[in-house]
Amino acid sequence: MYSGLQIYASKSFKTRSYVEFYLFNKRFKLYNGKSIGIQCFPNRCKSIKERDLELKKLELETHLRLKSGWIPKPISERNDTSTIKVLSQLLADVQKESYSASYKRDITDIIKSFQAFIQRTEHPALRIEQISTSQIEVYLEKYKSSGTYYMNKRRILSVVFSKLIKRGILNNNPVKDTSKKRIKSCLNEPFTQEQLPVIFSFLKAYNKNLYLCAQLMYGALLRPHQEIRNLKRRNFSKGLDYIILDGHSNKSGKIRKIPLTDFIRNTLIEHGIDNLRENENIFLKSSSAFNQYYFSLLWSRAKAIMMKKGLIKENNTLYSFRHSAAINLYSRHNNLHLLQKLFGHSNMIVTLTYLRGIGLDNIDNKNLMPML
């Protein structure tokens, strides 16, 4: 027979509340209604009053289940919240989901790194709810070489703890109260209209895959590492008039239809796209694709040569092709909403960052400066 059915409610949300009881001289705690098959999550409530009502509901339903003969698992089997084990389970679940390869990689790296930190600096059995903001601060110290690097790692770790909150394991995210660092924007300096023909001419002779990638970035506004790298023959219309990307193939998650200009169409024909089967990658000419670092490596090698030749500058990057295209389109159409739609940006702020280079072309004009 069960006994001692009781609600334990904290005065704040810093500590989780629960319903406790004893069965066969063993203690059990229920933090939510999952184990008894009901939708009841007291620790997700936004107010003390709402939480207390949910706890009373959980207590009543637990009483009814116990009275009908329900026997729960022992707490030692059911509520092992050691940091290492909880994060390992979360990592396994993330790998099963249909997230992008880069998202899974970032989550995997941060979880394994944080687990190593806990094993190295704390007791291996430290419970996840005992992780404090100060411990997170110590962990993030090693990423302070730059503001961008630090904030990216902080953001990914915050995502991990947010997932644990959604699972009902935690109430608060200890990462949110950690220190922030100012991010200094890295400028993808656009190419000038005089540079572009020279750069394309060099890339055509240097590497045909990088040349096609650059043309698709500039002329079709595609991103290199996911959208372009994974392109297959079936993504192109029969007459090579346009490209179609489904929601899984592009960053925005929406279906995109992009028209193709003559210079890209000619390059595709030279590349042998008409000889490919529907499911073959246009670069590797097989069902598989190059790894995600393929174009980054090609560009870094090509950039070193082009800089020695004086063709490009230090701040010219692979993404400068997209930034150059944005400036070209805006100069011709003067329409930010059109630009946002064409590039598949989530909001106008992202689109505006692509136009930062417009001012660089005219900054040497003294007539644009304040007059006294």
Total domains, the chain: 3
CB-based contact 278:233 (threshold 8 Å): yes
Per-residue pLDDT at 368 = 42
Residue type at 189 in one-letter notation: E
- Rounded to 5 degrees, what angle do the CA atoms 132, 138, 141 make? 140
Do 201 and 346 reside in the same domain of the chain? Answer: yes
Do 70 and 88 reside in the same domain of the chain? Answer: no
**pLDDT tens readout for residues 57-99:** 999 998 888 888 787 765 444 456 788 989 999 999 898 887 8
Distance CA 159, CA 83 (A): 16
**Which residue, chain included where needed, has tokens 């179609």?**
244
Distance CA 333, CA 271 (A): 31
> How long is the chain?
372
CB-based contact 114:141 (threshold 8 Å): no
Model pTM score: 0.57
| Residue 323 burial (C-beta neighbours within 10 Å; 0-12, 13-18, 19+) | buried
Do 243 and 215 reside in the same domain of the chain? Answer: yes
Do 232 and 308 reside in the same domain of the chain? Answer: yes
**pLDDT tens readout for residues 326-341:** 888 888 888 888 788 7
**Which residue, chain included where needed, has tokens 């090579």?**
240
Of 166, 183, 213, the one marking the end of a domain is 166
Q: Is the pLDDT of residue 202 over 60?
A: yes
* Domain assignment of residue 205, yes or no: yes
Distance CA 162, CA 178 (A): 14
CA atoms within 13 A on the CB side of 47: 3
Of 78, 96, 122, the one marking the end of a domain is 78
Do 51 and 114 reside in the same domain of the chain? Answer: no
Helices (H), 176-280: 195-206, 208-219, 262-270
Per-residue pLDDT at 38 = 87
Of 50, 78, 106, the one marking the end of a domain is 78
**pLDDT tens readout for residues 245-291:** 886 666 666 778 889 989 999 999 999 998 999 999 999 999 999 98
Distance CA 223, CA 91 (A): 28
Do 208 and 337 reside in the same domain of the chain? Answer: yes
For residue 145, give its domain range.
Answer: 83-166
- Rounded to 5 degrees, what angle do the CA atoms 113, 147, 112 make? 5
Do 231 and 338 reside in the same domain of the chain? Answer: yes
CB atoms within 10 A of CB 132: 10
Compute φ and ψ for 3, nearest 5 degrees.
-155, 170
Per-residue pLDDT at 246 = 81
Do 209 and 357 reside in the same domain of the chain? Answer: yes
Do 129 and 271 reside in the same domain of the chain? Answer: no
What's the token pair of residue 324? Answer: 């150059």
